[in-house]
């Protein structure tokens, strides 16, 4: 069975205080999901639960991202989350409270029937 990509969206999320990679990643996914209104399911005889969703997160510290928390940002479908080194960490002028920025790429597929 092959998959056909129907949607590709991108987002950026930040955590200004706390350097929380997961929070920044979740915000990036949320930003990616805001624009699209997916209205093609009925025309294809499918539901949102049929989606296969691949999420790629770029974060300064990939090991600090809780992928299960990121996956919870997507309420439908089968979600796979991959994290790679990326994003940005902006050093503070004082202390250790860096601003972290994560990027998200979200691809939505439906398997051929």
Which band of pLDDT confidence, cut at 50, 70 and 90, is reported for residue 71? very high
The pLDDT value recorded for residue 95 is: 77
Q: For the purposes of burial, counting CB atoms within 10 Å of the CB of 52, is it exposed (0-12), middle (13-18) or buried (19 or more)?
A: middle
Q: What is the pTM of this model?
A: 0.90
Q: Is the confidence at residue 60, as pLDDT, over 90?
A: yes
For residue 70, which of 85, 54, 86 has the smallest C-alpha distance?
Answer: 54
Q: Maximum Cα–Cα distance for the chain, whole Å?
A: 56
């Amino acid at each position: 069975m092959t998959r056909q990509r129907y949607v590709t969206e991108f987002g950026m999320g930040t955590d200004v205080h706390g350097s929380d990679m997961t929070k920044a990643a979740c915000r990036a996914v949320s930003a990616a999901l805001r624009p699209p209104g997916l209205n093609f399911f009925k025309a294809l005889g499918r539901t949102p639960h049929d989606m296969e969703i691949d999420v790629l997160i770029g974060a300064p510290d990939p090991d600090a991202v809780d992928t299960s928390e990121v996956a919870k940002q997507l309420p439908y479908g089968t979600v796979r989350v991959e994290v790679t080194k990326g994003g940005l960490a902006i050093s503070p002028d004082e202390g250790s409270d860096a601003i972290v920025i994560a990027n998200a790429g979200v691809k939505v597929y439906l398997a051929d029937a």
